[in-house]
């Protein structure tokens, strides 16, 4: 009985994290005029960081990949979906893996900040490679990098204080273990 309850709670947490990433991407975004190929800054990145720090690499990777991938599928960015799914799964996994390394479970602020910073070049690199293939150019993808940097910086500025507050709430902390 306990195992069934644990699986149900785990499924509900996954679904809620995916929904939070999706909603944050859909409703809280700004299309950038600097990138002709569709630069977009949204708060889904902040939610990916929060999910990864609070719940670890698996949930962070799934929330980021499915939440933002679903946005691409339903939001008119279909061609970007494979790139988004790969880059955000890797980004969520990296943040969670570092934040939860050596038993810290996302409790170390310096480690959390380091985790987010380390994930940014991976995310940018995957998008760069995907765009280079998509546009048959090594130059065109460079236009997306400033927007990616802004999006990640905003995500970090939001995720750090939110995680600090949420980690202090015993009810939330009990689900993150």
Domain 2-176 has CATH 1.10.1760.20: yes
Least confident stretch, 19-23, 29-33, 100-104 = 29-33
Q: Give me the chain's average pLDDT, please.
A: 91
Residues 142-168 pLDDT 10s: 988 988 998 999 999 999 999 999 988
Give the pLDDT of residue 176. Answer: 67
- Residue 1: the pLDDT is 52
Cα 21 to Cα 71: distance, rounded to the nearest angstrom = 9
Q: Tell me the CA distances in angstroms from 166 to 54, 74, 124, 158, 171, one per residue in order.
A: 8, 30, 28, 12, 9
Name the pLDDT band for 39 (thresholds 50, 70, 90). Answer: low
Residue 103 and residue 106: Cα distance in Å, rounded? 9
24 pLDDT exceeds 80? Answer: yes
Q: Which two tokens stand for residue 8?
A: 């149900």
pLDDT of res. 20: 97
Give the confidence band of 17 by pLDDT, cuts at 50, 70, 90: very high
Confidence of residue 2 (pLDDT cuts 50, 70, 90): low
Q: Which residue has the higher pLDDT, 29 or 52?
A: 52
Average pLDDT over every residue of 96-119: 96
Write down the pLDDT at residue 30: 77
Q: DSSP character for 55?
A: H
pLDDT tens digits for range 45-77: 999 999 999 999 999 999 999 999 999 999 888
pLDDT-derived band at 37, boundaries 50, 70, 90: low
At residue 107, the pLDDT reads 93
């Amino acid at each position: 009985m306990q195992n069934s309850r644990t699986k149900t709670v785990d499924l509900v947490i996954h679904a809620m994290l995916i929904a939070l990433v999706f909603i944050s991407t859909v409703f809280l975004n700004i299309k950038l005029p600097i990138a002709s190929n569709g630069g977009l800054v949204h708060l889904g990145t902040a939610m990916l960081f929060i999910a990864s720090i609070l719940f670890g690499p698996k949930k962070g990777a799934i929330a980021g990949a499915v939440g933002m991938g679903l946005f691409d599928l339903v939001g008119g960015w279909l061609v970007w979906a494979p790139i988004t799914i790969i880059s955000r799964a890797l980004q969520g996994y990296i943040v969670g893996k570092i934040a939860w390394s050596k038993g810290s479970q996302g409790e170390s602020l310096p480690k959390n900040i380091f985790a987010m910073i380390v994930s940014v070049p991976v995310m940018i690199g995957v998008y760069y490679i995907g765009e280079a293939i998509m546009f048959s150019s090594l130059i065109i993808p460079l236009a997306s990098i400033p927007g990616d940097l802004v999006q990640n910086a905003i995500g970090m500025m939001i995720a750090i204080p939110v995680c600090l507050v949420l980690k202090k709430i015993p009810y939330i902390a009990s689900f993150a273990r």
